[in-house]
Structure 1
Amino acid sequence: MTNIFMKIGGFCKDAGTKPGKNSIYHLWRTFDMNKDIGGACGEIVAMKGANLFNPLVAAQNFKYKMSNILDKPLESVFGYITVLPGAFSAYRYEALKNAKDQKGKEFGPLASYYMGEKRHAQNLIGPDGKLKDEKLKAGLFEANMYLAEDRILCFELISKKNSSWVLHYVKSAYAETDVPYNIVELIKQHRRWLDGSFFASLFAIFHTLNILKSNHAYWRKALLFIEMVYQACNVVFSWFVLGNFYTAFIILGNSLAKDDSATSGFWNKFAVITFIILRYLYITIINFQFASALGSKPKSVKWPYIISTVFFAIVMIYMLIAIAVITYRSIIASQVLEGYSTWKSHMLHSFLQYMLLVPFYVNVLSVYAFCNIHDVSWGTRREPKKKHDEKEKVDAKEGQNATVSIPENIEEEYDKAIYLLKNLKEQEKSKQEEKSRNKEYTTNEGLKELQKKLEEKRAKFRTYIVFSWMITNGLVIAIVTNYSPTLDVFTLEQKGNFYFILILWSVAGLAAFKFVGSCLYLLFSYLTLLRDFMKNFLSRDTQDKTDIMAHDHQT
């Protein structure tokens, strides 16, 4: 195994993740076969079994499958996988290495990756009593961006100056991992994922021109630029997902209520009344999502979140029924039945749960994530223990006590020790001067004041983001679902049809793009297997001929 990891610079596996049989070997072999690969990842599989009876686990399993079937293969074909999952991935050390500029400052993938650790440092005050500049200079954009530091690392790898590293997805390597089992953990986890991926994607899009500084071939750079356009489209869709979903609900509800050919009499009245009730409840619960996300922790409003999830599942059922009723006459039953024969296992045991939870992902997780961009902590980690100002007692022996001193903050003590070793003489000379200059920062009042300023700065940024998000999505809803005879050229039905067609074709186009990329990935995989087979066959044939010639020469 030593030789294996000499080839790979780093292998990442989270606690709770179990690699499959020969999966690590398949990752290593990818690096050994292609010297241009700087990073690779395998398939992440949710632990199933009895866990699939939990709809949250089943929905996450389906989401993982869709990512592994469509997203990862497509990105692998282009050479840039937006994120190599930290749970199961590997990197080539040569690709990770930093370089130094004229001033001796390091820059490169690792330097950018570890910048996130500095951004999220817990101490505002340095050991010298001065304010740590980077903490206040780091805005919420950078802080949220480094919640997805693995995404930053991936972009830095493919855009590394004077290099031509690519990232690859290895389908034959897989690892099982545990996923959140309850709604509170899921909300916390996806808050970090959604915020981190959104701002990291913006960072990559804004720095697309860095690809020109790499040594990639022209055709590879063209592919990377195409992928960046694709990523930009995904960011736009993620921004308007709240408005798009509500608008689709309104259009389908209105169409079902007015479709006299599909429903008549009692059922038509029932559809109208149901739509009106669901619409007003939808608005009420969306308002609750914003109120709870801005003012409460998920744990304190667990049951309201569960009720909201159930309601949005009912909304999804209503929308599916509306689609089925409206398009009933155009559906050929035989085609539907034929489709069932091609379904994979995850379609049978996870598809329904995922479909019912789609509104939950849109209306609950998205709202909570955007309303909590000021929270740059890792939501799934345990809260740090409280500091102790006094010594604590522990039992040493029965009937006896021993006292131990528990350090307040190990990282802070380490920083102080390093500072004292480097600046011992200078500290003695300027001790009084520094104390008077930074007096306001070395007191508890000064620290609280700085923390307050930082919180105000973050709250201001969050206000602008949430307001912009609400206004832009609200405009989409208002333009499509409202009609004014003096302002609108088209009727409400015409606008709704045009908007619905636009959304459907956009989604279909992105899905087709992913499908083509997935097919190309499979084609290239089979060609690689064929090449390896022919290479081994020819080398074996050559070796056999050599052995025969050697035997004839001896005889």
Structure 2
Amino acid sequence: MTLFLTVKAFCPIHVQLDEAEASGTSQASVFMSTSYGPIFAGLAGTFGIYIFSSILYMDPWHLLHSMIPYLFIAVSFTNILNVYAFCNLHDVSWGTKGSDKAESLPSVSSTTTAKDDGGRVVEDIRRDQSELDTDFKETVARAMQPLTSVEAVEKPTADDLDKTFRTRFIAIWLLGNAGIIIGIMQSTIDFRTKYFQALLWITFGLSLVRFFGFAWYLTGAGIFRVARLCARRR
């Protein structure tokens, strides 16, 4: 669908090129116009920078075997990755259900032996029957005591505050997206055009910032390698 819409958007371009040639204006002005300029900027900010950066890193081979699958699944990134990243609330813990706490884990006593490896080994300490009976009686005595419940005021923990913040953040994010959708659908055609043009230019700007970042890193890494080779030759 994305490829179809992209090709469909460029179908009338030959008419405008012919009109520009007939009027004596530059054909480059057609590509920089308000109709096609944002589209070219968006394409250059995504595919152009991806291809150029792959060539700079001298690793363009993934473009041959990964670009086509990427084009097929790229349209689902917004609907899957963003929603999953924001709304992954089914398990906000590590999944251990509290079993990683010290009081929930059994304790093991270890001693150091005089072996050559100097490691620690676990010794099985045998207990006689009298010690076992004493421990059993103490356990029964504790079980027979009446349970005294102490009502304590529960205060929200840091984990509870984090969950509350995340829930509110997701609610604001969903309501904000719904407001943007309603506003765009109820707006005029001219406003929709300007909105999507702004999105394409913003995409181009963010991609350009990333391009300058990796170019700076690549330049610094190259200078460091040259300096290290010169230092080795000395």
Give TM-score scaled by structure 1 length: 0.24
Match of 1:375 in 2: 91
Higher relative contact order (Cα pairs below 8 Å, separated by 6+ residues): 2
Deviation at 1:370, TM superposition (A): 2.5
Paired amino acid for 1:439: V
Match status 1:474 vs 2:178? yes
Please list every run of 5 or more consecutive structure 2 residues that lacks an aligned counterpart in the other structure: 15-30, 32-46, 109-146
Partner of residue 516, structure 1: 212
Structure 1 unaligned runs (5+)?
A: 1-317, 388-407, 418-434, 484-491, 540-555
Q: Which residue of 2 aligns with 1:158?
A: none
Are 1:536 and 2:224 an aligned pair?
Answer: no
Contact 2:2–2:75 at 8 Å: present in 1 too?
no
- Once the two structures are TM-superposed, the CA of residue 470 in structure 1 deviates from its matched residue by 1.4
* Residue 527 of structure 1 pairs with residue 218 of structure 2: no
Mapped to 1, the partners of 2:227 and 2:162 lie a distance apart of 55
Distance 1:521 1:480, change over 3 A: same
Q: Does 1:505 align with 2:201?
A: yes
Deviation at 1:360, TM superposition (A): 2.9
Q: Which amino acid aligns with 1:322?
A: L
Q: Which residue of 1 is the match for residue 168 of structure 2?
A: 464
d(CA) in 2 for partners of 1:357 and 1:519? 27
1:365 counterpart (81, 95, 99): 81
Number of aligned pairs?
157
Shift of 1:471: 1.4
Q: What one-letter code is carried by the residue in structure 2 that aligns with 1:319?
A: T
Residue by residue over 1:191-221, the C-alpha shift from the partner in whole angstroms, topping out at 9 and shown as x without a partner, is xxxxxxxxxxxxxxxxxxxxxxxxxxxxxxx
1:325 aligns with 2:21: no
Q: CA deviation at 1:326?
A: 0.8
Contact 2:87-2:170 at 8 Å conserved across structures:
yes
Correspondence for 1:439: 150
**Partner of 2:25 in structure 1?**
none
Q: Deviations over 1:213-243 (max 9, x none)?
A: xxxxxxxxxxxxxxxxxxxxxxxxxxxxxxx
Q: Distance in 2 between matches of 1:526 and 1:463?
A: 45
Task: Report the CA distance shift for 1:458/1:514 in structure 2 as closer, same or farther (over 3 A).
Answer: closer
| Change over 3 Å in CA distance of 1:372–1:493 after alignment to 2 | same
CA distance in 1, matches of 2:198, 2:176: 18
What's the Cα RMSD here? 4.5
Query: Quick check: 1:374–1:458 contact (8 Å CA) kept in 2?
Result: no
Give the aligned partner of residue 390 of structure 1: none
The 8 Å contact of residues 370 and 466 in structure 1, kept in 2 or not, is answered as yes
In the alignment, the residues of structure 1 paired with residue 229 and residue 160 of structure 2 have an alpha-carbon distance, to the nearest angstrom, of 63
Matches within 5 A, 1:537-552: 537=233, 539=234
Shift of 1:415: 9.5
Cα distance between partner residues in 2 of 1:514 and 1:463: 31
The offset of 1:414, in angstroms, is: 6.0
Match for 2:70 among 329, 335, 354?
Answer: 354
Secondary structure of the residue aligned to 1:350 is helix
CA spacing shift, 1:377–1:349, aligned 2, 3 Å: farther
Write the deviation string for residues 59-108 of structure 1: whole angstroms up to 9, x where unpaired: xxxxxxxxxxxxxxxxxxxxxxxxxxxxxxxxxxxxxxxxxxxxxxxxxx
Change (3 A) 1:415 1:467: same
Q: CA deviation at 1:495?
A: 1.0
Cα deviations by residue, 1:157-195 (Å, 9 ceiling, x for unpaired) = xxxxxxxxxxxxxxxxxxxxxxxxxxxxxxxxxxxxxxx
Counterpart-to-counterpart distance in 2, 1:462 and 1:519: 35
Change (3 A) 1:384 1:529: closer
